[in-house]
Amino acid sequence: MKKWMKKVAILLMAIGMFISTGAGVFSVKNVSAAETDPTLSRVKKSGKLVVGTAAEYAPYEFHATVNGKDKILGFDMDVARTLAKHLGVKLEVQDMSFDSLLGAVKTGKIDMAIAGMTYTPERAKEVNFSTPYYNDKNVVLTLKENKNKWATLDQIRGAKLGAQVASSQSKLASTLTDKKTVQVKKITDLVMQLSQKKVDAVVLAQTSAKSYLTQSDQFAITKAKLPITTGNAVSTVMNKNSPVFKERVDQILKDHVIGAPLQKWQDKAFKQAVQKDSFIKKYMPYFIKGTEYSVGLAVIGVFFGIILGVLFALMKMSTIKPLKWLAVAYIEAIRGVPLLIQVFLVYFGTQVIGLDVSSFLAGAIAMFLNSAAYVAEIIRSGIQAVPAGQTEAARSLGFTKNQTMRYMILPQAIKNILPALGNEFVTVIKEGSVVSVIGVGELTFQTSVVQGASFKPFLPLIVTAVIYFILTFGITRLLNFFEKKLHKSDKSFG
Amino acid sequence: MAILEIKNLHKEYGKNTVLKSINATVEEGDVIAILGPSGTGKSTLLRELNMLEYPTSGAVIFEDQDITKASEAGLDKIRQDLGMVFQSFNLFPNMTVLDNVKIALTKVKGIADDEATATAKQFLEKVGVVDKVDVYPASLSGGQQQRVAIARALAMNPKIMLFDEPTSALDPEMVGEVLKTMRELAQEGMTMLVVTHEMGFAREVASKIWFMSDGDMTAYDNPVSFFENPNSERAQNFLAKML
């Protein structure tokens, strides 16, 4: 019980932190003074270059354990180090989600973003792009055994091609083949389809393709030369109001990065990305973090779900008609709509009414609003399953209605509902995977991260499945134990 | 002296009339056996004496107060004086035998814990299950459970005891031990109303018979006159079936 409470406390703190960091970003947005302050003078004044990155994209930037310490490696980090060195300042790296990088640059939270970011007209409206320091060519990846089958553009016309949905590669792929292209959201899934021969070849950026080559000797890059216009120009990203800073950065990139130095760093990064560490050792932190979030979501979901559920259960059993109707309407509405839709409704609905809610908080709210409906029904049936004779016996002894509820009905009802409540907890842990859609870092979300970082599409799924099973099975066993303890009063001599 | 008066007590469930304007008086020390065929309103009548069910009309006067008009709080007080024993025992399964008897003493009457324990044990001794104080009801036989239920009601020191078919759910070999307890109680002068099908018990122990049939009630002040010479066809038919 103590551990439980500890976990709940940690989670409540976590929610608090999420809210406060969210508020932090929000308030910085309103400080327009930071945008007018030239970045260069800030860097010079503070003596450090603050670089933001999203370290989930090997070999550009990725987390790795070096001498027992978690570090961000990748050739982008060498680029950052070189820039800082030639600016004459120290380097400070901040890891954040890819989506928040542009906002951080605009608000001056970071001086520069280096995260394998490619130029798009939309992004260029918001921020300044440096001169590209690397052109990540598109290549065609296929199985080694088919390397010669798809060696020319002519041959590829007859291939079934796969590409990441809405990417420059997907446009390219559809012009290369006469067959219909397969479009998938994640590159890892694409590569899995390739290994299972569901597609003949995959069009993707060279850097990603090479990573797969280092991970597995199953694949090969074909000799087919793709049109030169379809590269991915990778730049660093800076605030629009700092043209002088951009000039300096461009110069350093031209003098000390582009060409041979970058090539050297890339080779090093590729090697580092393929660490000797076992998969588990390397990626366990992701799974642990995801498990914490999953359990946290479930604890919050069921905890507040029970509080709200008791309320709705009592309302549904109330003799006051409007309360009863409200409870019935809520329960039926929640049970009649998929959780996925409810998660989106909470996440985007809070934005519509002007609340800046983090994805974790939105996910947690959706979970307990959903859970409350089911818990309400569990509690109601638990209370109603206590025989009427118990109430009659208690009342005939002079117990008040409330006393009867407290001493006779609820203790028996709790015993009745514990198994169902346990099932609900298990259900919530599993259904928590749904909130990964809004970017909550729970187990299912982390699985995608590991799939991306490890270039292994299947193994992370197995690990996740095992973790889910251990969680749910463990909880079920634990509940059985408590249930047995509670039922000691039912044991008869017979 | 009348301890309980029933005046024009009437009960309808929808179109169904269960009690037809019953009038009766209970004197202190009476042991009244309420007899009659099944489904004729015996239990309903008993349950309307402590307002587990409310009558459609009529009055129940207990100590000069019409309890059909008592407030919720007033009723909680009155019910302490009207002990009730149920067909299905209705012991609290989540409490030990001792706690079953004790809890109303401490929580309703506000008696100190050690005093309540002593009182509870005294009544459990009286009904002969004092060796079972620490077990849960589920491990007792039906007869033992019903005797605990009697002890639970008696511990509240009630003025009247209401028994609603106390032996109907028992295996035949356990009926005797419960009836014995009830007989002892009657001999001590407890005012008792007993809905029962135990004709032998009614004949031996009851001081009055209330015969119920189709919502009507006929009171016999002398059990012998009911059993020997029931001057109604319905009573004769009933006795012919039962004896």
Residue A163: Cβ-neighbour burial (10 angstroms; 0-12, 13-18, 19+): buried
Residue A191: what pLDDT?
85
Give tens-digit pLDDT for B2-41: 899 999 999 999 889 999 999 999 999 999 999 999 889 9
What pLDDT sits at residue A204?
86
Please indicate if any CB of chain A lies within 8 Å of the CB of B93: yes
CA distance A173 to A183: 10
Q: Give the total number of structural domains in chain B.
A: 1
Contact at CB, A393 and B82, closer than 8 angstroms: no
Q: Which amino acid is at B96?
A: T
Q: Sorting pLDDT into bands at 50, 70 and 90, what band is A456?
A: confident
The pLDDT, as a whole number, for residue A305 is 92
Structure tokens at A266: 């890339």
Quickly state the pLDDT bin for A342 (edges 50, 70, 90). Answer: very high
Q: Are strands A134-136 and B57-62 parallel, antiparallel or unpaired?
A: unpaired
pLDDT digits (tens, 9 = 90+) for A45-84: 889 999 998 877 778 888 776 776 778 889 999 999 999 9
Which range of A209-223, A411-425, A472-486, B185-199 scores highest in mean pLDDT? It is: B185-199
How close is the nearest chain A Cα to the Cα of B91, in Å?
7
Query: Per the domain annotation, does B223 fall within a domain?
Result: no
Residue of chain A with shortest Cα separation from B140: A492
Distance between the two ends of chain B, CA-based, in angstroms?
33
**Rounded mean pLDDT, B201-230:** 92
The alpha-carbon gap from A409 to the nearest alpha carbon of chain B, in Å, equals 9
Average pLDDT for A341-357:
82
Judge whether residue B63 has pLDDT over 80: yes
CB nearest A393 (choices: B80, B90, B139): B90
Of A407, A408, A492, the CB nearest to B138: A492
Contact A396 B108 (CB under 8 A): no
Higher pLDDT, A487 or A77: A77
Q: Which pLDDT score is estimated for A11?
A: 55
Query: What would the mean pLDDT of A324-336 be, rounded to a whole number?
Result: 95
Is the pLDDT at B238 greater than 80? The verdict is: yes
| ipTM entry | 0.94
Q: Looking at the complex, report in whole angstroms how far the Cα of residue B103 sits from the nearest Cα belonging to chain A.
A: 9
Q: Does B90 touch chain A (CB under 8 A)?
A: yes
Instruction: Say if residue A494's pLDDT is above 60.
Output: no
Report the mean per-residue pLDDT for chain A: 83
Alpha-carbon gap: A472 to the closest alpha carbon of chain B (Å) = 29
CB of B88 less than 8 A from some CB of A: yes
pLDDT value at position A95?
78
Q: Where does the pLDDT of residue A230 fall: very low under 50, low under 70, confident under 90, or very high at 90 and above?
A: low
pLDDT at A34: 39
- The predicted model gives A97-107 an average pLDDT of 78
Contacts of A383 in chain B (CB under 8 A): none
CB-nearest partner of B138 from A401, A412, A489:
A489
Question: From the list A400, A411, A492, which residue is nearest B94 (CB)?
Answer: A411
Mean pLDDT throughout A112-128?
A: 86
**Exposed e or buried b for every residue in A363-384, given b needs 16+ CB within 10 A?**
bbbbbbbbbbbbbbbbbbebbe
pLDDT of residue A276: 57
Distance, in Å, from the CA atom of B243 to the CA atom of B235, rounded to the nearest integer, reads 12
CA atoms within a 13 Å half-sphere pointing along the CA-CB vector of A345: 12
- Give percent of chain B above pLDDT 90: 89
A153-189 tens-digit pLDDT = 889 898 999 988 766 788 788 888 988 988 887 777 8
A389 and B83 in contact by Cβ < 8 A? no
**What is the spatial distance between Cα A98 and Cα A105, in angstroms, rounded to a whole number?**
12
Comparing A34 with B130, the larger pLDDT belongs to B130
- For residue B24, tell me if it sits in a domain: no
What is the structure's pLDDT at B150? 97
Of A398, A407, A488, the CB nearest to B80: A398
Using CA coordinates, name the residue in chain A closest to B75.
A398
Residues of chain A whose beta carbon is less than 8 angstroms from a beta carbon of chain B are 387, 389-390, 392-401, 403, 407-408, 411-412, 415, 488-493
Query: Given CB atoms, is B103 within the 8 Å cutoff of chain A?
Result: yes
Confidence of residue A435 (pLDDT cuts 50, 70, 90): confident
Domain assignment present for residue B4? The answer is no
Best of A397, A399, A488, A490 to disrupt the B interface (most B CBs within 10 Å) is: A397
pLDDT at B118 over 50: yes
Question: Does residue A225 surpass a pLDDT of 90?
Answer: no
From chain A, pick out residues whose CB is under 8 angstroms from the CB of B107: 399, 403, 407
Calculate mean pLDDT across residues A462-483.
Answer: 90
Pick from B79, B86, B153: which is nearest to A389 by CB? B86
Q: Say whether A408 and B80 touch across the interface (CB within 8 A).
A: no
User: Do B138 and A392 lie within an 8 Å CB cutoff?
Assistant: no
Least confident range of A443-457, B54-68, B169-183 = A443-457
| Interface check B72 vs A, CB under 8 A | yes
Q: In which band, very low, low, confident or very high, does the pLDDT at A344 lie, cut at 50, 70 and 90?
A: confident
Q: Which of B108, B44, B112 is nearest to B73 (CA)?
A: B108
- C-alpha span between B219 and B210 (Å, rounded): 4
Distance, in angstroms, between A478 CA and closest chain B CA? 21
Nearest to B139 among A398, A411, A491 (CB): A491
Nearest to A398 among B93, B104, B137 (CB): B104
Whether this prediction's pTM lies above 0.90 is answered by no
Cβ contacts of residue B34 below 8 Å, gap of 6+?
B42, B45, B46, B193, B194, B195, B196, B210, B212
Helix (H, G, I), strand (E, B) or coil at B163: strand
pLDDT > 60? residue B156: yes
Question: What's the angle, vertex CA A449, arms to CA A448 and CA A450, rounded to 5?
Answer: 90
**What is residue A117's predicted lDDT score, i.e. its pLDDT?**
86
Interface of B with A in 169-208 (CB under 8 A): none
pLDDT-based confidence at A333, cuts 50/70/90? very high
Question: Which domain, by its residues, includes B134?
Answer: 91-157
Widest CA span of chain B, in angstroms? 56
| Per-residue exposure over B5-22, b if at least 16 CB sit within 10 Å of its own CB, e if not | ebbebbbeeeeeebbebb
The Cα-based distances of A241 to A80, A90, A108, A131, A247 in angstroms read 20, 22, 11, 16, 12
**Which residue does chain B place closest to A406, by CA atoms?**
B107
pLDDT band at residue A358 under the 50/70/90 scheme? confident
B220 domain-assigned? no
**A:B CB pairs within 8 Å:** 78
Closest Cβ opposite residue A489 in set B136, B149, B152: B136
Per-residue pLDDT at A196: 84
Q: What integer pLDDT is reported at residue B230 of this predicted model?
A: 85
pLDDT the model gives residue A1: 46
Q: Identify whether B1 is part of a domain.
A: no
What confidence category does residue A277 fall into, taking pLDDT thresholds of 50, 70 and 90?
A: low
pLDDT of A477 over the 70 cut: yes
- How does pLDDT run across A5-54, given as a tens digit for each residue? 565 555 555 554 444 444 444 434 343 333 445 688 889 888 999 999 88
A397 to chain B, closest Cα gap in Å: 5
Residue A32 burial (CB < 10 Å; 0-12/13-18/19+)?
exposed
- Identify the pLDDT of residue A5: 57
Pairing of strands B57-62, B2-13: antiparallel
Q: Which two tokens stand for residue A148?
A: 């010669």
Q: Is B157 on the interface with A (CB under 8 A)?
A: no
* Interface touch B104/A393, C-beta < 8 Å: no
**B146 found inside a domain:** yes
pLDDT at A491: 53
**Nearest-angstrom CA–CA distance, B149 and B136:** 13
Among A184-198, A206-220, A313-327, the range with the most confident prediction by mean pLDDT is A313-327
Residue B46 domain flag: no
> Reading across the β-sheet that carries A61-66, which strands appear in turn?
A56-57, A61-66, A69-73
* B194 domain-assigned: no
Q: Which of A131-145, A186-200, A312-326, B207-221 has the lowest mean pLDDT?
A: A186-200
Interchain contact, A397 vs B93, CB within 8 Å? no
